[in-house]
Amino acid sequence: MPNPLYDALFATLTLRTNPLLILEGGEKVTGASFHAMIARAANALRSAGVQAGDRVAVQIAKSPEALAIYGATVSIGAVFLPLNPAYTLPEVGYFLNDATPRLFICDPAKAEVLAGVAGQTALKTLNAKGGGSFGADLSDAEPVFAPEERLGSDLAAILYTSGTTGRSKGAMLTHDNLLSNAQTLADLWRFTALDVLLHALPIFHTHGLFVASNVSLLTGGQMIFLPGFDAGTVLRLLPQATALMGVPTFYTRLLEDARFDHALTAHMRLFVSGSAPLLADTHRQFYTRTGHRILERYGMTETNMNTSNPYEGERRAGTVGFPLPGVELRIMAEGAEVPQGGVGGIEVRGPNVFAGYWQMPEKTREELRPDGWFITGDLGQIDADGYVQIVGRAKDLVISGGFNIYPIEVELALDDHPDVLESAVIGLPHPDFGEAVFAVLVAQKGKALDPDAVLASLSNRLARFKQPKSAVVLDELPRNTMGKVQKAALRASYAAWFQPKA
């Protein structure tokens, strides 16, 4: 009986005697052992009453067992719902109430408090070492099972968006969505069974689960499966790897360590960055230090990956490359495509695009057109060579005195200041201009920033209406777990900056 994701990612593991996972301490999990873990998890889920179409929510630490639960869930035809361990009690309550999962698996240390928001959902526990009530179920379960028949159009997962502009939305992803994207990326990035992927990403997110894990599983490679990113651990284990997928913070932290150099990375085949914009300066520093050019790509919860810089050819700093094979991308403004080089909203269409938002038909209609084009909410432009550049989020566009200001243009100018490590530009309410441009700066290590002097340096670089009217200096920018700057939090913190004082 066909089950697209199980057949492509997990079925062949039964015959695999070499390692699939290499853990931080050097322990190895063979493919066959991992498949037995999936089988035990599948039987444990079924014993808990999970049936095809049911949701299985998990808020647990990254571990081989956690990855096996993903494999087991899709194998029995259920829908996987991973939740960030950092989510608060009210957030988890919202997700459980909205998705109505059959089973919720959480950390034993949080079980008592989470039981209060679980409602009618059955609750089991699992910790990073395999302990907890579900861990006991795994030990007791049989290591063989029969997968459930599924269609490519059946749901495999629901991932909730960050919800920075309102209620979080559950993006419904099908077997075909996930499998088509993994197949495209594996081919485009030349992954094979000879690859060893250093996996330090979380697996509650598209990047770590549906890009890193799926691509490696699909191609028969190995994963050095770390619980999280630690620069020292990554440097120690890098000689065993051929590829690393990370967020920009991974690369800036590695560049801070003098051990990270050309010799340490000479054997590496590929470094990939995503989930947040990679500064062009980081791209250049990385090449100078290692001789490798980071491959930056662009994706989102609702679509997995949309574009990628080329494996062979110029990996252009400040861009996210070209649309993936089979994926269409266009730049739209006021209902029409903009001329090449113009800025507008990015829309994408392809087999990677999600099936809609869980129990939100009105939101689905707003953002997913009947002809399959998805309105991403990102602003972008395409240069003369076809490279896509992300200008920012539509909601981050600053309209000051009737002029449109794209934050990235101002940020790039600020980041060029020798004492500025990075910046974030936002719009704040202003009594005269409607919105005013405001900059949040972070200093280079060991430097003291005078925000007024930094702003003065822009006088001959940017039109006056684009120049920030004020700036502050922070030790670091607020970011989510995937490294994205939380501009909504900055706007909230400084909302009254330009308002008349009482």
Instruction: Tell me the DSSP string of 47-84.
Output: HTT--TT-EEEEE---SHHHHHHHHHHHHTT-EEEE--
Name the nearest CA neighbour of 10 among 172, 169, 217. 217
Give the separation between CA 420 and CA 444, rounded to whole angstroms: 5
Q: What pLDDT, on a 0 to 100 scale, did the predictor assign at position 165?
A: 45
Longest dimension (CA), the chain: 73
Give the separation between CA 12 and CA 6, rounded to whole angstroms: 9
How much of the chain, in percent, has pLDDT values that exceed 90?
Answer: 82
Topology agreement, domain 4-17+31-150 and domain 196-354+363-393: yes
**Cα–chain center distance at 99:** 21
Q: Which residues contact 101 (CB under 8 A, 6 or more apart)?
A: 54, 55, 56, 57, 81, 121
More confident residue, 14 or 406: 14
> Of the given ranges (93-102, 114-123, 157-166, 325-334), which has the lowest mean pLDDT?
157-166
- Residue 155 carries which side chain, given as an amino acid letter? L
Q: What pLDDT, on a 0 to 100 scale, did the predictor assign at position 162?
A: 64
Please give the average per-residue pLDDT across 310-325, as a whole number.
Answer: 96
Q: What pLDDT, on a 0 to 100 scale, did the predictor assign at position 204?
A: 93
* Model confidence band, residue 121 (pLDDT cutoffs 50, 70, 90): very high
Q: What pLDDT, on a 0 to 100 scale, did the predictor assign at position 313?
A: 94
**Cα–chain center distance at 7:** 25
Please give the average per-residue pLDDT across 282-304, as a whole number.
Answer: 95
Please give the average per-residue pLDDT across 333-340, as a whole number.
Answer: 92
Q: What pLDDT, on a 0 to 100 scale, did the predictor assign at position 164?
A: 43
User: If you compute the radius of gyration of the chain from its CA atoms, what whole number of angstroms results?
Assistant: 23
Terminal Cα distance for the chain, rounded: 70
In the chain, domain spans: 4-17+31-150, 196-354+363-393, 397-493
Give the separation between CA 110 and CA 112, rounded to whole angstroms: 6
**Cα–chain center distance at 407:** 21
- Tokens at 107, concatenated: 């950390």
Tell me how many degrees the CA angle 489-465-379 measures, rounded to the nearest 5: 55
| pLDDT 10s digits, 231-286 | 999 999 999 999 999 988 899 899 999 999 999 999 999 999 988 788 888 899 99
Q: What pLDDT, on a 0 to 100 scale, did the predictor assign at position 484?
A: 83
- Tokens at 323, concatenated: 């649309």
Give the separation between CA 450 and CA 186, rounded to whole angstroms: 47
| pLDDT 10s digits, 438-453 | 999 999 989 999 999 9
Going by CATH, does the domain composed of 196-354+363-393 fall within 3.30.499.10? no
Q: Is the pLDDT of residue 166 over 60?
A: no
Q: What are phi and psi of 486, to 5 degrees?
A: -90, 80
Q: What pLDDT, on a 0 to 100 scale, did the predictor assign at position 394?
A: 83
Please give the average per-residue pLDDT across 483-491, as a whole number.
Answer: 88
More confident residue, 478 or 432: 478
SS3 of the chain: helix, strand, coil, percent, to 5: 35, 25, 40
Give the separation between CA 175 and CA 155, rounded to whole angstroms: 6
Q: Is the pLDDT of residue 32 over 50?
A: yes
Name the nearest CA neighbour of 158 among 174, 142, 170. 170
Q: What are phi and psi of 133, to 5 degrees?
A: -65, -35
Give the separation between CA 271 and CA 251, rounded to whole angstroms: 9
Q: Is the pLDDT of residue 111 over 60?
A: yes
Q: What pLDDT, on a 0 to 100 scale, did the predictor assign at position 276?
A: 78
How much of the chain, in percent, has pLDDT values that exceed 70?
Answer: 99
Give domain 397-493's CATH superfamily: ANL, C-terminal domain (3.30.300.30)
Taking all residues of the chain, what is their mean pLDDT, rounded to a whole number?
93
Q: Is the pLDDT of residue 163 over 70?
A: no
Q: What is the DSSP letter of 207?
A: I
Q: Are 178 and 157 in contact (CB under 8 A)?
A: yes
| Protein fold of 4-17+31-150 | Rossmann fold (3.40.50)
- Tokens at 214, concatenated: 């799926």
Give the separation between CA 394 and CA 374, rounded to whole angstroms: 14
Residue 446, Cβ density class (10 Å: 0-12 exposed, 13-18 middle, ≥19 buried): exposed
